[in-house]
Copies of this chain bind each other. A is one copy, B any other.
Amino acid sequence: MDTALGRAAPDPSMLTFIGLGLYDERSITVEGREALAAADRAFAEFYTSRLVGTTVAELEAFHDIEIDVRDRAGVERDPGPILDAAADDHVAFLTAGDTMISTTHVDLRLRAHERGIETRVIHGVSAQSAAAGLTGLQNYRFGKATTLPFPGAHGGGDVPDSVIETIEANRERDLHTLVYLDIKVDDPTADAAGLGEDERYMTGDYAADLLAENWADELGVVVARAGSPEPVVAADRLSELATRSFGGPLHLLVVPGEPHHLEAEALEALAGAPAELVADN
């Protein structure tokens, strides 16, 4: 500011990772909104997850900033433009849900760090919090989470062994499993897998149908549109959930361990679980 006194101007070099939360432009924290207002430039990626309750144009209008949406290649193979911008200015990098969930973002943060760019993380609400909050299933009883891919997107059978093993290992310890459902956005392999659409979100009934091959009579809980004003939470046998329809994306599936008393009560009252299925043993 006062170079005559040899003081340098404050260094604006900064990369702030901001989690936008789960649903729309109001899912961001107040702190995140203020950080975005203070940023010179904003980048975003929506291939690891998406805000289904809003559009990029609505986000831009709400935050009064232009958002440069990068595809997977534009973040992972070619992060240069983001890093160059952050070396000169205060740059915000936006993602749906929490930030840093994906290895992509950790990698970007490390590259910024290597270049001497200060980084900051402003957390967003994650699907994990929402899955516990909406189902009444206790947070501390969730084991390792897993992701169920579309069949054909991997080798082997309809459900990858890793998914089955994770659910089995959690069930052995009487823990709940949060199953993230596959999202195909901006994925060059999508066509090859015969999906034929630019974006495709696995639904809870589709996932329940896949898992019912192994656990037809076991309890599952579908959470649709977590973080929206009207989320749907439905608990039933996986084979039953497979026959239902839960509306628009995003969906999650939870395969619970044996519900404790209060969990059973919540699943019955708030998710319509058949009483005999969640009976306290």
Contacts and interface: CB of A to CB of B under 8 A. Distances in A.
A65 interface: no
Contact of A99 (B34, B120, B133, B263): B133
The oligomer's copy count stands at: 2
A143 B140 contact: no
Contacts of A189: none
B129 A128 contact: yes
A227 interface: yes
A270 interface: yes
Most buried by B among A19, A22, A99, A125: A125
A263 B110 CA distance: 10
A277 interface: no
Interface stretch (A23-31, A192-200, A205-213): A23-31
A132 interface: yes
A126 B124 contact: no
Interface in A87-111: 98-101, 103, 106-107, 109-110
Nearest to A25: B30
Contact of A269 (B110, B125, B138): B110
A107 B264 CA distance: 12
A146 interface: yes
Contacts of A85: none
B132 A140 contact: no
A69 interface: no
A142 B128 CA distance: 11
A136 B31 CA distance: 21
Contacts of A129: 19, 98, 101, 123-126, 128-129
A101 B103 CA distance: 26
Most buried by B among A28, A29, A126: A29
Contacts of A17: 133
24 contacts: A19-B125, A19-B133, A21-B31, A24-B31, A26-B29, A26-B30, A27-B30, A28-B29, A29-B30, A98-B133, A101-B132, A101-B133, A101-B139, A103-B262, A106-B266, A109-B136, A109-B270, A110-B265, A110-B269, A121-B134, A123-B129, A124-B125, A124-B129, A143-B144
Given A26-B34, A110-B136, 7 more contacts: A29-B30, A98-B132, A98-B139, A100-B136, A103-B138, A125-B129, A139-B145
